[in-house]
Structure 1
Amino acid sequence: MSEFFLVRQPMFGTTGALLGYEIRFKDTAEGQGGFAESFLSGTFDLVRNRLPAFVACTRTQLVEDVFHMAEPGSAIVMLPPDLVADDAVTDAIARYRAHGGLFALDDVGEIAGPSEALVPFVSWVRIDTRSENAVTIGQICDRITQGTGKNAPKLIATQIDVLEQYEVVLGLGFDAFQGTFFSRPEPLPAANMPQSTVAAMRLMGMARDANINDRQLEDFISTDPVLTFQLLRLVNSAGIGMRGVSSIGQALRLIGRAAFLRWLAVAVAAVRRSSNGVDQELVRQAVERGRLLEQLEGGPRDGGTLFLVGLFSLLDGVFRMPLPEILSRVALSTEANDALLDRCGPYALAISFAESYELGLFENATELAKEMGVDPTKIGSYYTNAISWTAEALGAILDSQPPAHAGAR
């Protein structure tokens, strides 16, 4: 089995809407291109989720028309900065444009590269904004758009890691934004959790306690109409495969403690989901990370704890609250708290693995997986499984949101 890795990273517009994903690949050990394998397996379309996918290319992939296999408009091909605009390249670009494809110029910086001769043929230009210097970044933008008039490409600011960078590029008129800042937004000065979220987090602590029986859980859930409505809808859904559940106790027995805990965790994250694309993506990332880590179960690591550690590792961004404050509201295990707060114990490596993989640092992620005793050839399938599972899980949770008269708070 080949080590086929890919990861998607979101791009947002000026209003916070999700515009598409950059999809990064690690080529297989056999030398087959990651894009080709992902497309032929169906993974490419799963990961891009009907949105445009920005994909880096090589000269060979370009001139061999590799991206023609994708649906027109689905793959925006990013041209490397050292690409020379010779006849073979310009002919290949013309063929892909005739096919309905779009191009972006990638990794534009202070020093102009040979690929900038291709600006007239691209729809997007991605600019490294790590300098945080408005004058320098503005000069790069002017260089790119000079003489383009109404046909000026849209500008993507990449490598945005802190608020100051985002404010600079927003003021310069960039059209799209990408970077770790959107996974760690600034905390709100007086962020509060909805009451149902607090209740769900308290319930998570109770459900983890072996001394708390199902009757006690049932009594607690019964006092919250939102939790009652959501639980019964979830267990009665086609996704669970059970029909006719009419009581909380029956629902708990059918779903089991482990699945109940996981559902609660997803429900907690989904409360923060809003019409804002950044918020939606944060929730998705948190649940995906939980599911990704859950699949690393083995040795001293419990799958349920892995799921919670993965999800809670991003909840500070989801709720715009310090992580210690969030953890004070739910009774996680000592090992989980050690991993989340101090990066120590049997679950700490799992968080580091997820962070490396999500940044596209595949070699580092592979080494961390080996250190945990995880087969590296399975990582790619774990990641794509996390994406598909999350889409289904969040769909079930959001479908179970109660109408206004059901007692939503």
Structure 2
Amino acid sequence: MFAYIARHPILDSDRNVYAYELLFRDGRKNCFPDIRPDEATSKILTGSHLTLGLEDIACHKTSFINFHKETLLHGFPSMLDPESVVVEIVETVPTDSSMVAACKQIKDMGYKLALDDHNFDPKWDVFLPYVDIIKVDTLRSDYETIARNIEKFKQAKVQLVAEKVETYEDFNRFRDLGFDYFQGFFFAKPEVIRQRNLPTSKLALLELLQESSSRDFNFERVNAIFERDVGLSYMLLRFINNPTINKRYKISSLRHALNYLGEIELKKFISILALANMGEEKPMELLHLSLVRAKFCELVSQAKKDQDNPPKGFLVGLFSLLDALLDQSMDNLVQKLPIDEEIKLALCGQEGRLRNYLSLARAFESANWLALIKLSGELDLSQKMLHGLFNQAIVWGNEIRQSVSPHFPKSQVRT
């Protein structure tokens, strides 16, 4: 028995990640086990929440976790650390006295509670004395209803999360209305289609991209580019001294770093560095999501025994959010980049192996388990193995994000 996991970022008003909602599902049934706390439920909870490590899955940030009737009544949240978890009460739970008592008990144990998919029905008011956060589905309630009710929760000192925020326009509207946090993939879409010229300082990165896209890789030319840019050299050394990349040697010279990484890993690093700098004005979660996709697609490519140089699986995942980073259409952007034609076609939606790898990553992100089942069958890869690869990609993405970003604050549950 194993569990699928998806995570959805929850951003603050500055578009920094405050928390991740972790969605746990029971295999092909595609549901959280809402049954008496028997052995099967216990295995899923302990296997998912404890064995995999919430701190790795959620990047040491707050974890929002859904709980249903039976798991709340029988105190299953007590298996988790109240300092790093928000207990999310789903909209299907009853509002009877036993459920209110269970929520009070969980609150008294030091947990924060959130009401999911709130629709402003007065019946939920019985939970207000124990709730810290309310999540509002912005698609189920119209804007006027939301605006009319928001002051009530502000007076109760309840924080508000706007769910299903899919555009920057909606993000700005609900931020101005007083919402504290925002959930949805608005940040992963182009804010507006406009031309953005790369400043002169980015030319070195474009030169490096040009070199890394070639099979005829020239270490001397790459070394010369790094040598004339102190910032790039520093980032290279910071990257290679990360324990995820190098656990054995302390590397201090530029030449040693280049030789140690080797051609394939150096090409990947150059691509990461270019992407991080291109999107420096965008939410860090965009880079993080790109890193996880890159590593996952690379691992899937390796499982399929692909032999690519440059590593196409890695690059298609890494560049899959380029349109959101630069606020331009993907079709327009790929024509400007020195990347392989197969990668360009996959990024623009052309069917093929690389597009399938990317679709697998998106299935995990959106908890679309039916798509995962279908794609795993088409690729002849087991779902259990893919689940492990995605978790591995998350851990790798966390570490590399810290290497390429000097500012990576750890979030805790707020008091």
- Residues 14 and 218 (structure 1), Cα distance of their counterparts in 2 relative to 1, 3 Å cut: closer
Equivalent-residue separation in structure 2 for 1:314 and 1:284 (angstroms): 10
- Residues 383 and 115 (structure 1), Cα distance of their counterparts in 2 relative to 1, 3 Å cut: farther
| Shift of residue 358, structure 1, vs aligned partner | 0.5
1:331 aligns with 2:338: yes
Residue 258 of structure 2 aligns to which amino acid in structure 1?
A: L
Alpha-carbon contact 2:323-2:329 (below 8 Å) kept: yes
Alignment partner for residue 204 of structure 2, among 199, 205, 210?
199
Alignment partner for residue 39 of structure 1, among 25, 41, 49?
49
1:345 aligns with 2:349: no
Aligned residue runs from structure 1 range 10-409, under 5 A: 10-28=9-27, 31-32=40-41, 34-109=44-119, 112=121, 114-130=123-139, 133-139=142-148, 141=149, 146=152, 150-187=155-192, 189-235=194-240, 239-240=245-246, 241-243=248-250, 246-248=253-255, 250-272=256-278, 279-297=283-301, 298-299=303-304, 301-302=306-307, 304-398=311-405
| Shift of residue 77, structure 1, vs aligned partner | 1.4
Q: Please, which runs of 5 or more residues in structure 2 have no aligned partner?
A: 29-38, 408-415
Equivalent-residue separation in structure 2 for 1:257 and 1:155 (angstroms): 48
Alpha-carbon contact 2:63-2:84 (below 8 Å) kept: yes
SS of 1:271's equivalent?
helix
SS of 2:204's equivalent?
helix
- Residues 357 and 172 (structure 1), Cα distance of their counterparts in 2 relative to 1, 3 Å cut: same
| CA distances 1:88-137 after superposition (whole Å, capped 9, x unpaired) | 21221121111101111111237x38545323321111111126842133
Alpha-carbon contact 2:23-2:66 (below 8 Å) kept: yes
Alpha-carbon contact 1:6-1:23 (below 8 Å) kept: yes
SS of 2:283's equivalent?
helix
Q: Which moved more, 1:100-109 or 1:212-221?
A: 212-221
Aligned residues: 391
- TM-score, normalised by the number of residues in structure 1: 0.85
Identity of aligned residues (%): 22
| CA distances 1:310-369 after superposition (whole Å, capped 9, x unpaired) | 010012222334334443343211111110013323211122222221111122123212
Equivalent-residue separation in structure 1 for 2:327 and 2:320 (angstroms): 13
Q: Please, which runs of 5 or more residues in structure 1 have no aligned partner?
A: 401-409
Q: Which residue of 2 aligns with 1:403?
A: none
- Residues 233 and 180 (structure 1), Cα distance of their counterparts in 2 relative to 1, 3 Å cut: closer
| CA distances 1:127-155 after superposition (whole Å, capped 9, x unpaired) | 1112684213324x35xx64x67324222
SS of 2:41's equivalent?
coil
Cα RMSD (Å) of the superposition? Answer: 2.9
| Shift of residue 8, structure 1, vs aligned partner | 1.6
- TM-score, normalised by the number of residues in structure 2: 0.84
- Residues 150 and 133 (structure 1), Cα distance of their counterparts in 2 relative to 1, 3 Å cut: closer
Q: Which residue of 2 aligns with 1:405?
A: none
| CA distances 1:219-263 after superposition (whole Å, capped 9, x unpaired) | 444444433443345446665233455353x43332111100111
Equivalent-residue separation in structure 2 for 1:263 and 1:116 (angstroms): 52
SS of 1:331's equivalent?
coil
Equivalent-residue separation in structure 2 for 1:121 and 1:212 (angstroms): 61
| Shift of residue 17, structure 1, vs aligned partner | 3.4
| Shift of residue 40, structure 1, vs aligned partner | 2.2
